[in-house]
Amino acid sequence: MERRKFLGKSGCGLAALMAAPISLDSNASGGQANRRRYQIEVEIYENKKNRQCHKVGEKFKYPDDIGKICPWFLSSMHDALILLQRGVTLSWKYEDTPYEKVIDPDGVTTEYIRCPDPTANLVAKIIRTVV
């Protein structure tokens, strides 16, 4: 079985990340990632049980406010935060769902991450803005 087919069927988030096409912002000199600056903000988008440590609408600046975010939740966001901060755009859009993403390399790009605690029902919206 081909690697992409296997990873695509595994249902694992990491496998989806590895199998999904990604893009880097690039400049005209050799396609290296450019040195754009981004502002990253984490917004609590969903909290169905509303009994966790975060409330819907709370906003945190990354990396300034990482000490205010639940460490387990922050850990689940880590890879997406680093990728977005470095100019990577994950191409899947979750079309026709409440988690449909905005992908605009010259403006705002969003990503959604769920807390790994199975009882939490907590979702963060990561918002990257070009500075």
CB distance 122 to 114 below 8 Å = yes
47: containing domain: 36-130
Specify the pTM: 0.74
CB distance 55 to 70 below 8 Å = no
Please indicate, yes or no, if residue 13 is contained in any of the structural domains. Answer: no
Amino acid at 102: V
Please indicate, yes or no, if residue 108 is contained in any of the structural domains. Answer: yes
Q: What total number of domains does the chain contain?
A: 1
75-129 tens-digit pLDDT: 999 999 999 999 999 988 999 999 999 999 899 999 999 999 888 889 999 999 9
Amino acid at 92: W
Q: Is the pLDDT of residue 59 over 70?
A: yes
At a CB cut-off of 8 Å and minimum separation 6, what does 40 contact?
A: 61, 62, 63, 81, 84, 85, 126, 127, 128
Beta bridge partners of 46: 123
Please indicate, yes or no, if residue 104 is contained in any of the structural domains. Answer: yes
Please indicate, yes or no, if residue 45 is contained in any of the structural domains. Answer: yes
